[in-house]
């Protein structure tokens, strides 16, 4: 049997967060289950996850952590690369020359068609994972797992004609722990999950905890998940040490269990949105990045999440009011839960189609 070689180019850092690497690890695990060899190329930024990826059983080719001033960035996030795209491409090519992968997967907002075109001679096929639709790509497959009213038109002028598109939450990259956890429709609010991603640099967690303390109900309890890159974790644990209703968890590998136990989540947009929807967990959502806003508005207009607005506009009082509303109106909680589940229907079938397509041997580039 011919084994396919896949290489993934993705980074984590304090600035970027952990989401890109985490969803690529999810994809890597599923590719490995299908008999594929998978390796990563990551730059060693502050807050990188190279060791974490190695601990999961994947080889990592580490690029040196740099922070070179990029004088004229070609796209909004090029500075996230730490070096100009041309340099990143040259350093990546040195790795690719030794592997010649069948498939290169790129999940990086700092990379666009120029980088991909430079890399093209060293790979058979290129797959891009994107959320922004804000720059052109030179790729054979593109995955955007987000929900937009106009999602089928967003990439029309941004990818080559031959590119296969996989769009919407039915293609969301969910870890095995989620796929193996039963969906549950919520009927009553007793237990809250608070999670704002791996870094939470603006400390939205503190705001959510203030809101929970506003709620008079002694039966309301909360699990609070803090990433290992969270700079406020010790301060938060100390501040709420006396509150028996609040339990802290640091950099967990049992998130599906915590989500399944919760009746509502207070959290941001981003990739955990689809994990919550898959498990039928309603969300009181605020956005912490510009690229989350349109998705949050569209989900809200479709009655799938309870969206409060951008982080700078949301107060602890607003969060507390939303909690009270869902405690007093369990029918609203149930509706959010049912609509979340419906959004993710037949997901396994769609994912199987994705894997069959991207694991075909041969050169699709034109």
Give the C-alpha distances (Å, rounded to integers) separating 294 from 47, 168, 291, 318: 28, 14, 7, 20
Query: 3-class SS at 111?
Result: coil
d(CA 293, CA 311): 10
Query: 3-class SS at 223?
Result: strand
Choosing from 20, 45, 108, 124, the catalytic residue is: 20
User: Tokens 């994107």 — which residue?
Assistant: 130
275 among the known binding-site residues?
Answer: yes
- Cα dihedral 248→253→256→257 (10° resolution): -60
Q: Which two tokens stand for residue 24?
A: 């690529």
Closest C-alpha to 210, from 323, 345, 122, 133: 323
Q: Are 127 and 144 in contact (CB under 8 A)?
A: no
Closest C-alpha to 83, from 71, 95, 93: 71
> Is 20 labeled as catalytic in the residue annotation?
yes
Maximal CA-CA distance, the chain: 63
175 among the known binding-site residues?
Answer: yes
Annotated binding site for substrate: which residue ranges? 175, 275
- Which residues are the active-site residues? 20
């Amino acid at each position: 049997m011919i084994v396919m070689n896949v290489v993934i180019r993705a980074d984590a850092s304090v600035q970027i967060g952990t989401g890109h690497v985490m969803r690529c690890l999810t994809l890597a695990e599923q590719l490995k289950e299908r008999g594929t060899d998978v390796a990563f190329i990551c730059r060693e930024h502050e807050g990188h996850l190279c060791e974490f990826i190695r601990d999961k059983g994947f080889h990592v080719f580490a690029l040196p952590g740099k922070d070179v001033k990029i004088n004229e960035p070609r796209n909004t996030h090029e500075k996230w690369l730490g070096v100009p795209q041309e340099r990143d491409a040259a350093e990546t090519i040195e790795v690719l020359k030794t592997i010649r992968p069948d498939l290169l997967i790129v999940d990086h907002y700092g990379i666009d068609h120029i980088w991909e075109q430079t890399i093209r001679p060293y790979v058979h096929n290129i797959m891009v994972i994107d959320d922004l639709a804000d720059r052109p790509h030179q790729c054979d497959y593109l995955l955007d797992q987000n929900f937009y009213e106009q999602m089928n038109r967003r990439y029309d002028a941004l990818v080559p004609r031959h590119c296969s598109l996989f769009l919407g939450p039915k293609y969301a990259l969910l870890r095995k722990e989620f796929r193996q956890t039963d969906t549950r429709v919520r009927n009553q609010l007793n237990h809250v999950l608070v999670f704002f991603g791996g870094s939470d640099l603006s400390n939205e967690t503190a705001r959510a905890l203030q809101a929970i303390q506003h709620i008079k109900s002694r039966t309301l309890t909360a699990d609070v998940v803090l990433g290992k890159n969270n700079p406020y974790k010790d301060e938060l644990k100390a501040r709420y040490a006396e509150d028996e209703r609040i339990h802290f968890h640091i950099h967990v590998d049992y998130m599906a269990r915590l989500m399944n136990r919760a009746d509502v989540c207070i959290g941001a947009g981003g990739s955990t949105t689809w994990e919550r929807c898959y498990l039928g967990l309603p969300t009181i959502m605020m956005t912490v990045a510009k690229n989350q806003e349109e998705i949050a508005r569209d989900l809200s207009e479709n009655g799938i999440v309870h969206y409060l607005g951008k982080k700078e506009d949301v107060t602890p009082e607003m969060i507390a009011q939303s909690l009270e509303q869902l405690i007093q109106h369990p029918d609203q909680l149930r509706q959010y839960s049912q609509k979340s589940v419906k959004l993710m229907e037949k997901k396994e079938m769609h994912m199987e189609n994705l894997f069959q397509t991207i694991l075909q041997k041969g050169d699709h580039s034109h």
